[in-house]
A = this chain, B = another copy of it.
Amino acid sequence: MPIPRPTAERLSQLARLLDQHSHAAAISSSEIEHKTGWPSHTIRKDISFLELDADISTTAGYNPVALAKAIRKTLNLAETDSKCCIVGLGRLGSAFLEYSGFAGSPFSLCAGFDSNVNRVEILKADFPLYPSFKMKEIIPRFGIKFAILCVPPQQAQATADKLIECGITGIVNFTPSLLSVPSGIEVENVSIIDALGALAARLAAENAHKE
């Protein structure tokens, strides 16, 4: 059964939460509710999508290490080598050059691209940075599958088209432009304005519920 997208997203977050509690013998769904704000019945429903070994769930709760492993296996996050690149090294893109969250995740950053050759030479990172015209050579050579898109909005679609030509199959889109992509390619839009909009909508729904 395919996993619904909100479930996949919650489970992916839950795996990170469980990592922070790997020392605990067990974590209950009500503890998870307290830490995440998701109702415990939603959490149990999400977990029901996983194929669980018998020893994951006890009367005291879930085994955090085993549950995190089961989530990563089901969501195909178990491979430790999904290669990513950052495209567009302006203020936002270059801020991600030192993002520490990749450590311990199944994703690794292995290249950065910018059309400004100067910028590529000045910036420092733990992985190589290239001028954009090298994408065609570097992306297939490293087997990079994911791109984090931080270019100016007016260049977003053209850059996405080029990335897909080079073999990218998933794009995290930090630009405010919405992208058209062929089937088989996935885009995840990340936008402060949408995040604020989702917060405002949920707060409005809560208030309506109270009235």
Contact = CB atoms under 8 A, between A and B. Distances in A.
Interface of A: 2-3, 5-6, 8-9, 12-13, 15-17, 20, 34-37, 75-77, 82, 84, 90-92, 94-96, 98-102, 105-107, 146, 148, 153, 169-172, 176, 178, 180-181, 184, 186-206, 208-209
Contacts of A193: 12, 16, 101-102, 105, 107
B172 A199 contact: yes
A208 B8 CA distance: 15
Contact of A172 (B2, B107, B187, B192): B192
Nearest to A82: B200
B184 A188 contact: no
B172 A13 contact: no
Number of copies of this chain that the complex holds: 2
A195 B190 contact: yes
Given A202-B5, A204-B75, A204-B76, A107 B196 contact: yes
Contacts of A188: 195-196, 198-199
Contact of A16 (B13, B84, B170, B176): B176
B206 A170 contact: no
A26 to B, nearest CB: 18
A205 B191 CA distance: 24
Given A2-B208, A186-B202, A200-B170, A91 B101 contact: no
